[in-house]
Structure 1
Amino acid sequence: MANQSMNQFKKGILPMLILQIIADEKDYGYNIVNRFNARCVAGMDIKEGTLYPILHRLEEDGAIVSEWVMASENGKPKKFYKITEEGKLLLEEQWSCWAQIEGMVRGFEKKHISD
């Protein structure tokens, strides 16, 4: 049951967190996964199979754009993702919503603990 709950929470929050990773620095998929996993707690890590559908949706929504860049180390092109102005506005709005949700949840947590 706990694993199912964690998956539901992840599904809702991952696009915002991925967008934040890209806002911090444009990057390609494999590195985005590594940067995300380096910052997250156990159980929240992601794989590339989780990332790419999120990137696709963010790009469809206009929050990010992608471009192919030739990699110097092996000569193969890599698809880099970069946040757009629209994406920056969306991310700001999402963080604001998250702060409200976090405050609401904390209010319930404190009440629950004191009962």
Structure 2
Amino acid sequence: MAKKSFYKIEMLFLKILEKEDCYGYQLTQSIQDITNGQIKIAEGTMYPILYKLQDQGYVSDRQVKVGKRQTRVYYHLEPAGKEYLSQLTHDYYQMVNYPSHAVQ
């Protein structure tokens, strides 16, 4: 997957986590719902992005036991992640609103 795609997926993950803490499957389902099924994210794509966001201090995780044996890992947006999301959003709108005549 191209770097640009990771950038957009990062932004989607952070935007969803801004509203509530989620576990991995919940994140992928939220993105599918938001995009009317146009974007489907595989675990092999999702987890490396989440781990990268964790390593950078933008997201933290906590384990919650559900049932007798199952544990879910919930991801939480940290203050640094909110700042990063703000920057990503700003950069995205700058790119989208870039005058088309400038690239011709």
| Cα RMSD for the two superposed structures | 2.1
> Does 1:32 find its partner at 2:27?
yes
Once the two structures are superposed, residues 16-50 of structure 1 have per-residue CA deviations (whole angstroms, 9 ceiling, x without a partner) of: 11111111210101111111111125543212221
Taking a change above 3 Å as real, the CA distance of residues 80 and 87 of structure 1, as seen in their structure-2 partners, is same
Among 71, 81, 86, the alignment partner of 2:75 is 81
**Which residue of 2 is the match for residue 21 of structure 1?**
16
Among 82, 88, 95, the alignment partner of 1:101 is 95
Answer whether contact 1:69 1:79 (CA < 8 A) is retained: yes
Q: Which has the higher helix share?
A: 1
Q: Residue 89 of structure 1 aligns to which amino acid in structure 2? A: E
Taking a change above 3 Å as real, the CA distance of residues 88 and 23 of structure 1, as seen in their structure-2 partners, is same
> Does 1:69 find its partner at 2:68?
no
| TM-score scaled by length of structure 2 | 0.85
Q: Distance in 1 between matches of 2:84 and 2:32?
A: 23
Q: Residue 56 of structure 1 aligns to which amino acid in structure 2? A: Y
| TM-score scaled by length of structure 1 | 0.78
> Does 1:47 find its partner at 2:68?
no
- Residue ranges of structure 1 left out of the alignment (5+ in a row): 1-6
**Which residue of 1 is the match for residue 7 of structure 2?**
12
Q: Residue 63 of structure 2 aligns to which amino acid in structure 1? A: W
